Structure 1
Amino acid sequence: MTYFTADLHLGYKKILKFRKHFNDVQSMDSSIISLWNEKVRDKDEVYILGDLTHQSIDVNTTINYIEKLNGKKHLIIGNHDAHLITNPKFRHYFKSIDWMEMLKFNNNMLTLCHFPLVEWTDSHRNVGEGKSLHLYGHTHDSKTEGVYEFLKENYPYALNVGVDINHFEPVTLEECKRNNATFFKI
C-alpha cells in the first residue's frame, strides 16, 4: 500500500495554537504516531511531503520520531526540513529524499511537492480526467490566506495531503481525494 502525508510537525509546541483539540505536544505526537502505525505496515510506502518536525527540532529528536513510524519512508523536503538533510544519520532513514518528485502511480502521474504549485506536468491536459495530480502540504487547513479559495476555484486536481485535513493520518490517494472533496465543500 502507498500512503501520503505532510505537515506532521511532531514535537512542535507552537502548532498547538492551530490544533486546539490536542491538550499538549505529547498528546499530539502520541496521537499522530498511533494513527500512523495503526494503518501503515512495515512493507508500505509512505511519502511525507514536508515538515515532519520543525526547524527548531534537532536531528536526533527527529530521528527518534522517525524510528517510531512504520513503513518505508520517502521525504519531500518542506520549509522546516532543510536543516536535516545534510546530516548523514538522518538520510539513512529514508528510501529517498528530494525537493520534488514525479511518480507514476495507478494510471496517474503525481507531482509531489511540499508547496502548492500552479502548474505541473500535464496539468493543462486534465480537463475532465484528472490523470495528472499534484499532491502538496504546507497550507495545513487554512481557509483565510487566499490560497484556499484560489485552489478551490482553479485546481481540482491539486490535493492537500496534510494531516490537518486528513484526520492526522497518512492517506491513500483515494482517501485523499475524498477528504479534499469534503474540505473544499465546506
Structure 2
Amino acid sequence: MAIWYTADTHFGHENVISHCARPFKSTSHMDGILIENMWKVVGPEDVLWVIGDFAFGPAAKDESYLLRTFEQLPGKEKHLVIGNHDGPLTLELPWNSVGHLSEVRDGTLKQNNTLCHYPMITWNHARRGALQLFGHVHKNWRGSRNSVNVGVDVWDFTPICFADVERRARGLPVNKHWADAEARKELC
C-alpha cells in the first residue's frame, strides 16, 4: 500500500483551464487526463488524499457528475481535506474521511505530516521535521523547505508520493518567516 497526494483538481471547472494556463482543450479533456494520470500511479490497494478543491463550477452542483467522477478515482481509500471550493455535494461523496486538516504518518519520519488545503506558517511537530502538504495557490508558489505545494498545477497533473514531497522540499528555500513563528526560545 502506498499513499498518494494531490490538490486542486477542479474537476469540471472550465475557467481553471485559462486561469491557470492548463494545457487542456475542455473540461472533459482535463478531467480525463487527471483521472488517467491518477490511474498511472495509484494502485488498487493504495490511499489517495485530495487536499482540497476536488471540483468547481456548475459541475460541482451536479450530484450525478460528482459521483461519476468520484467513482473513477483509483485506490482503496479516498480522503478529502476540504478546500475553499469544496461544496456540500462534494463533502457528501463516499470519502473515507473528510476534514479541514489531517495528520498522516508517511515516509521515514516518526511523526505525522500535516495536510491542509491552505499553506501554513507552522503546524504540529514542525520543529521536529514534520512537513505540511497544501494546495490552494495552484502554480503561484511551490512552497518552502518544510511546506510543499502538492497541487496538480506544479506536479504535471499527477498525484505524488511522500518521497517526491521530501525531494522537492530539500530544493526549496527556507520560509523567510520561519524564525518569526518558530523561534527556539520557549513560548510564554
Max radius of gyration: which structure? 2
- Map of 2:186 onto structure 1: none
- Distance (Å, rounded) in 2 between the aligned partners of 1:116 and 1:36: 23
- Match of residue 37, structure 2, among 32, 35, 38: 35
The normalised TM-score by structure 1 is 0.80
Q: Is the 8 A contact 2:13 2:55 kept in 1?
A: yes
Report the CA distance between 1:179 and its aligned residue.
Answer: 4.8
- Distance (Å, rounded) in 1 between the aligned partners of 2:155 and 2:131: 17
What are structure 2's unaligned runs of at least 5 residues? 174-188
Size of the aligned set, in residue pairs, is 166
- Distance (Å, rounded) in 2 between the aligned partners of 1:33 and 1:70: 8
- Map of 1:52 onto structure 2: 54
For the pair 1:6 / 2:7, whether they are aligned, the reply is yes
* CA 1:19–1:179: 2 relative to 1, 3 Å: farther
- Match of residue 132, structure 2, among 131, 134, 146: 134
2:89 counterpart SS class: coil
1:31 counterpart SS class: helix
Query: Identity rate of aligned residues, in percent?
Result: 28
- Distance (Å, rounded) in 1 between the aligned partners of 2:123 and 2:100: 14
- Map of 2:82 onto structure 1: 77
Q: Is the 8 A contact 1:133 1:159 kept in 2?
A: yes
Report the CA distance between 1:139 and its aligned residue.
Answer: 0.5
Report the CA distance between 1:60 and its aligned residue.
Answer: 2.4
Give the residue type in structure 2 aligned to 1:82.
G
Between 1:97-106 and 1:170-179, the stretch displaced more is 170-179
1:11 counterpart SS class: coil
For the pair 1:65 / 2:78, whether they are aligned, the reply is no
1:3 counterpart SS class: strand
Give every structure 1 segment of 4 or more consecutive aligned residues whose post-TM-superposition deviation is greater than 4 Å. Answer: 179-184
Report the CA distance between 1:22 and its aligned residue.
Answer: 1.1
- Distance (Å, rounded) in 2 between the aligned partners of 1:169 and 1:15: 16
The normalised TM-score by structure 2 is 0.80
* CA 1:21–1:60: 2 relative to 1, 3 Å: same
- Map of 2:166 onto structure 1: 177
What are structure 1's unaligned runs of at least 5 residues? 143-147
- Distance (Å, rounded) in 2 between the aligned partners of 1:82 and 1:37: 25
- Map of 2:179 onto structure 1: none
- Distance (Å, rounded) in 1 between the aligned partners of 2:171 and 2:12: 28
- Distance (Å, rounded) in 2 between the aligned partners of 1:3 and 1:182: 20
Q: Compute the RMSD of aligned alpha carbons.
A: 2.1
